[in-house]
Structure 1
Amino acid sequence: MQFGVFSVSDITRDPTTGKVPTEKERIDAIVAIAKKVEEIGMDVFALGEHHNRPFFSSSPTTTLAFIAAQTERIILSTATTLITTNDPVKIAEDFAMLQHLSNGRVDLVLGRGNTGPVYPWFGKNIQDSVNLTVENYSLLRKLWDEDVVNWEGRYRTPLQNFTSTPRPLDDVAPFVWHGSIRTPQVAEIAAYYGDGFFANNIFWPKEHYQQLIGLYRERYEHYGHGRADQAVVGLGGQFYMAKNSQDAVREFRPYFDNAPVYGHGPSLEDFTSQTPLTVGSPQEVIEKTLTFQEYFGDYQRQLFLVDHAGLPLKTVLNQLDMFGEHVLPTLRKEMEARAPKDLTPAPTHAGLVAARNAKLAAQGAERSEGDDRGH
């Protein structure tokens, strides 16, 4: 099981002080948070992509490359890379470059995003979003898997004898997760290619995501990648902790009530009862996180949103210190004890290289046997 943090990169007023951080302050804070993620022993840091205020992360690969230079171990990912409005050629090039710079510590979550106006900004039509997702990802796979690409589609100019550079590190493409909160077609794409499916289940009740994840698992098995319970699943989550739950609720309530995404809507109590958000003691975070496996089956990656809604950097770093000391060791122990021995491992570059080499060795052995029978 991989544990990590993801950020949507919002720039939000702190309701307790009235302070709004500058873009520079939030960008510097993201780097500090990523370094803290590594320091406390977590495995993944992921950053979203947005092209509109109040968000700053328009170029996550640039930020992740800067973080890669200051870390040694964590996997650097995206919380969303927009497969609909980004050119697949640029995605292929940017993430292969990031692979090399980070020594393979990179993967990505592809998604359609949640901002409708982004489509015309990049010359696309939101009505084409699902078709763009299918076509662009098919091209992206070819660009990574084939040295010379000849391709023609509906939404971009054709490619003739094109080679994406640099080539993926060790000739193994970054692992791809497909993220969705509402679209069955995205679960189908993930299953078809045998990729991961990331359900950022932080806003809606669990029953909604159980349907999406269930569909992905069923289709993953249908396409011959393994049993449904071996499919590669990632989940989102949120927490705010204090030594006792009363203090946690008191401290977090003004941030929740004024958050741009869910503020002025359901009460904090209703939201925590219906979604993965935990506001309470470290033990309550442990207990609620362990229920995710009961709802969604065995899974490989758990990411938490911790830096949103105007929370100041000092508070976020303190939250992560508390998580690293009081929550992470127990979650690791419990999740490892619960996981079946044949669960598909959480994706790493080394694991992908080893799987590729094992597949090539098996194919070579089959050819040798065939040659021997021929003689």
Structure 2
Amino acid sequence: MQFGIFSVGDVTPDPTTGRTPTEHERIKAMVAIALKAEEVGLDVFATGEHHNPPFVPSSPTTMLGYIAARTENLILSTSTTLITTNDPVKIAEDFAMLQHLAGGRADVMMGRGNTGPVYPWFGKDIRQGINLAVENYALLHRLWREDVVTWEGKFRTPLQSFTSTPRPLDGVAPFVWHGSIRSPEIAEQAAYYGDGFFHNNIFWPQEHTKKMVDLYRRRFAHYGHGAEEQAIVGLGGQVFMRKNSQDAVKEFRPYFDNAPVYGHGPSLEEFTSQTPLTVGSPQQVIDRTLSFRDTVGDYQRQLFLMDHAGLPLKTVLEQLDILGEEVVPVLREEFAKNRPATVPDAPTHAARVASAQNRKGVDA
């Protein structure tokens, strides 16, 4: 199982000091957080994609390529690549290039984002969001698997005998996660292609997460990719930890109360009771995260959101120390217990290359 962190790259004032970091400071902080993730033994760093203030990650592959040059083991991903408003040809090129630069340590999460105005900014119609996601990914899927593509669709100009360059590393496309919180059409899309489904359940009760993941698993099996338990599932989460739970709650409360995404709404206690947000001791985070398996079954990737709501970099790095030293080692051990042999491991480039070579051997 893979453990990691994802960032939305928000530039938010620290409510305890009133200071807002500059865009430059926030970008450099995201890089420092990624490097810290590798240092403490995490598996994945993922960044979102936004094209509006107060967010900075408008060019995820640029950032991930820079991080790739400074790391050795970390899998580099997106926590959203906007399949609706990005040209699938450019996605194919950018992520194949990243895949080469990172030595295969790259995958991608497709999503529609949560910023409605982004559609007209890129000449798209939000009313066609699902249709754009379906058509654009169908083209992207072919671009990575066919050396020469002739294609015609509704939302972009046709392609005649087009070759996307560079070709995927070792002839194996980057692994794709389809991320969604509420759209069953996206779970269906992930199942149809046999790709991974990532339910970023940070704002939703577990009952909803279960419905979405169960749908994906059923449809994954329906399309002949394997049994339901062989589907590839990832989950989001949010945590804030201190040695004593009371200290964690006291320190995190002003950040929660003033956060743009959930401040001035439900109380911290209400929100933690209804969503995966866990504020407390490392053991509380361990217990809460292990409970996710009771909801969705054995799964492959767990990502945590830790650098949001104006938390200063120093605090986030402290959180990563706790996560890497006290939490993840226990989670790895506990999640491995009683894990059926039929449940696949988390996807890696090396494993997927080996699988592709085995298939070629069988076909030969």
Question: Shorter-chain TM-score: what band?
Answer: over 0.9
Larger Rg over CA atoms = 1
Residue 59 of structure 2 corresponds to which residue in structure 1?
A: 59
Residue 202 of structure 1 corresponds to which residue in structure 2?
A: 202
C-alpha displacement of 1:248: 0.3
Residue 125 of structure 1 corresponds to which residue in structure 2?
A: 125
Higher mean C-alpha deviation, range 330-339 or range 97-106: 330-339
Alignment of 1:3-152 (within 5 A): 3-152=3-152
Alignment of 1:287-306 (within 5 A): 287-306=287-306
In 2, the alpha carbon distance for the partners of 1:36 and 1:58 equals 22
- Moved >3 Å (runs of 4+): none
Q: Percent same amino acid at aligned positions?
A: 71
In 2, the alpha carbon distance for the partners of 1:48 and 1:329 equals 26
Matched, 1:257 2:257: yes
C-alpha displacement of 1:212: 0.8
Alignment of 1:173-188 (within 5 A): 173-188=173-188
C-alpha displacement of 1:230: 1.3
Matched, 1:274 2:274: yes
Residue 371 of structure 1 corresponds to which residue in structure 2?
A: none
C-alpha displacement of 1:306: 0.2
In 2, the alpha carbon distance for the partners of 1:75 and 1:328 equals 16
Task: Give the partner amino acid of 1:262.
Answer: Y
C-alpha displacement of 1:165: 0.3
In 2, the alpha carbon distance for the partners of 1:67 and 1:237 equals 23
Other structure's SS at 2:225 match = coil
Q: Deviations over 1:299-337 (max 9, x none)?
A: 000000000000000000000001111111111100111
Task: Give the partner amino acid of 1:328.
Answer: V
Residue 316 of structure 2 corresponds to which residue in structure 1?
A: 316
Task: Give the partner amino acid of 2:83.
Answer: I
In 2, the alpha carbon distance for the partners of 1:329 and 1:219 equals 33
In 2, the alpha carbon distance for the partners of 1:134 and 1:184 equals 12
Other structure's SS at 1:221 match = helix
Other structure's SS at 1:115 match = coil
Task: Give the partner amino acid of 1:320.
Answer: L
Q: Structure 1: which 5+ residue stretches go unaligned? A: 365-375
Q: Deviations over 1:327-372 (max 9, x none)?
A: 11111100111321111110100011011111111111xxxxxxxx
In 2, the alpha carbon distance for the partners of 1:209 and 1:330 equals 24
In 2, the alpha carbon distance for the partners of 1:270 and 1:283 equals 20
Task: Give the partner amino acid of 2:147.
Answer: D
Task: Give the partner amino acid of 1:129.
Answer: G
Kept in 1, the 8 Å contact 2:46–2:77? The answer is yes
Task: Give the partner amino acid of 2:94.
Answer: D
In 2, the alpha carbon distance for the partners of 1:203 and 1:229 equals 25
Kept in 1, the 8 Å contact 2:40–2:324? The answer is yes
Residue 191 of structure 2 corresponds to which residue in structure 1?
A: 191
Q: Deviations over 1:32-72 (max 9, x none)?
A: 00000000001000000000111000000000000000000
Kept in 1, the 8 Å contact 2:229–2:342? The answer is no
Other structure's SS at 1:202 match = helix
Task: Give the partner amino acid of 1:191.
Answer: A
Task: Give the partner amino acid of 2:306.
Answer: V
Question: TM-score when scaled to structure 1?
Answer: 0.97
Other structure's SS at 2:237 match = strand
Task: Give the partner amino acid of 1:116.
Answer: G
Residue 229 of structure 2 corresponds to which residue in structure 1?
A: 229
Task: Give the partner amino acid of 1:273.
Answer: S
In 2, the alpha carbon distance for the partners of 1:297 and 1:46 equals 23
In 1, the alpha carbon distance for the partners of 2:254 and 2:232 equals 36
Q: Structure 2: which 5+ residue stretches go unaligned? A: none
Residue 307 of structure 1 corresponds to which residue in structure 2?
A: 307
Task: Give the partner amino acid of 1:97.
Answer: M
Residue 367 of structure 1 corresponds to which residue in structure 2?
A: none
Other structure's SS at 1:147 match = coil
In 2, the alpha carbon distance for the partners of 1:339 and 1:15 equals 43
